[in-house]
Amino acid sequence: MNKLAKVTIASGMALIVGFSGFGASEASAAKATAKNLYKKVEVSVDYGRQELEFEFEVKSNGRVEVEFENDFTRKKLRGTAAQAEVDKAFATYNVTGKTRTQIVNHILKTYKLSTRYQEFDFEAKLKNNKRVAFEIER
């Protein structure tokens, strides 16, 4: 859908500018979702009495199953709401070529968690079938 905007220039002249839908960055941001990069993501950050845990999986029929639980914020979500939480960390973040430390720091920062975890489990399977997985115990 084309939209027209009238922009008045300082000299009093008017300029008509055409816009076609979203700008490129807005369009890509609107479509950004973990489903575009990943087939599966599983994260568990255990602090003893509390943890952050989520699972995201794209089934062979394209349906997405997501569960998200954050004991710190008392969020226990499924479906679209859970998808939005996972997308906070993974809609545009590609783990390929990242170190364990970079991935851990990204997740901790995204969900505002302490670095004092007892166990950190991570597994991701990307659309290109690459797999990144690790476990850190302290």
Residue type, 42: E
Task: State residue 31's pLDDT score.
Answer: 65
- Mean pLDDT value across the chain: 83
Other CB atoms closer than 10 Å to residue 104's CB: what's the count? Answer: 20
Helices (H), the chain: 24-31, 79-90, 100-110
Judge whether 24 lies within some domain: no
User: What is the C-alpha to C-alpha distance for residues 95 and 124, in angstroms, rounded to an integer?
Assistant: 8
Task: State residue 52's pLDDT score.
Answer: 98
Judge whether 87 lies within some domain: yes
pLDDT, one tens digit per residue, over 16-38 is 433 333 333 334 444 678 888 99
Judge whether 21 lies within some domain: no
**Could you tell me the pTM of the whole model?**
0.75
In the predicted model, what is the mean pLDDT of residues 94-112?
97
pLDDT, one tens digit per residue, over 42-54 is 999 999 999 999 9
Judge whether 69 lies within some domain: yes
Judge whether 111 lies within some domain: yes
Q: What are phi and psi for residue 129, nearest 5 degrees? A: 70, 5
User: What is the C-alpha to C-alpha distance for residues 90 and 80, in angstroms, rounded to an integer?
Assistant: 15
Judge whether 125 lies within some domain: yes
Domain span at residue 44? 38-137
Judge whether 8 lies within some domain: no
CA angle 39, 42, 48 (to 5 degrees): 175
Q: Name the domain count of the chain.
A: 1
